[in-house]
Amino acid sequence: MREEQGRVNIFEETMAHMTYLQIEEAAREGAVVLLPIGVIEEHGPHLPLAVDVYGAYWIMDQYIVKGMGFKGNEPHLLLHRSLMGSGGVSPYLNIHADAYETSFMWNYLPELVNLKVLKELKPTNLTVKDLLVWRKGGREARETTPQGYFGDPTAATPERGRESMEVYGKVVAEVIEAFLQGRYSPP
C-alpha cells in the first residue's frame, strides 16, 4: 500500500492494477490468485469501518477455529499453527478492534487511527461465554460490545503491527505453499 497525494492505494501491486493480459501471463507462470474479501463493519470508536478490507486475507489460527466450534478439518478452511502469545501475553480476550487490529492499522495506515480516542478506551474484560453471545451478531453483539471493540486496543503499538504481520505473513505463505504442493494437513 502506498499513499499518493494523501490517498491510500490498497490495490497497488495487486491483480486489481493488472490488465487481463498480465493476469494470463502470471497464470502461465504458475502464479496463485488470492482474492481477499473483507467486511465493512464497526471497529470501535478509534478505527475505520474498513479495517477488514485492509487486512482481508486470513488463514485461521488453529485454536481460534476450534474455539468457534469448527473441527478444524473443514475443506473450506486453511489453518495455521497458533501464534497465540507471539504478540505478548494479555489478560484480556482480544477478538475485535483489539491490540492486534489496532497495531496493524497503526503501522500501515496511521492516519486512520484516532489516537486521541484510543488513549481513552478501557479493556472490555470479556470472557469466552461473552464471545459466544457476541458472535450471534446484531443486538447481542451490540449489547456485549457497546463501543464496538472486544479486548484491549490500548496495548497496540505500530511496532507490534509490523512485527506481527511479518510473522503472520511467513506462516500464511508456508500454509499456502503446503496446500498448493498437496502436503497441507491441519495443525
Higher pLDDT, 81 or 99: 99
Mean pLDDT of the region 19-31: 89
Q: What angle do CA 151, 134, 102 make, to 5 degrees?
A: 30
The whole-model pTM stands at 0.79
Residues in CB range of 178: below 8 A, 6 or more apart: 184
- Residue 4, pLDDT > 70, answer no
What is the reported pLDDT for 3?
52
Higher pLDDT, 58 or 130: 130
Q: Where are the domains of the chain?
A: 1-33, 37-180
- Three-state secondary-structure class, residue 143: helix
**Sign of the CA dihedral 138, 143, 148, 149?**
negative
- Residue 156, pLDDT > 60, answer yes
- Report the DSSP pairing between strands 79-80 and 60-61: parallel
Q: How many CB atoms lie within 10 A of CB 151?
A: 25
What is the reported pLDDT for 85?
58
Residues in the chain, total: 187
d(CA 14, CA 30): 16
Q: Give CATH for domain 37-180.
A: 3.40.50.10310
- Residue 16, pLDDT > 90, answer no
Q: At which residue does the C-alpha cell 496511521 appear?
A: 110
What is the reported pLDDT for 7?
61
- Three-state secondary-structure class, residue 175: helix
- Report the DSSP pairing between strands 2-4 and 7-9: antiparallel
- Residue 148, pLDDT > 80, answer yes
Least confident segment among 1-15, 33-47, 104-118, 159-173: 1-15
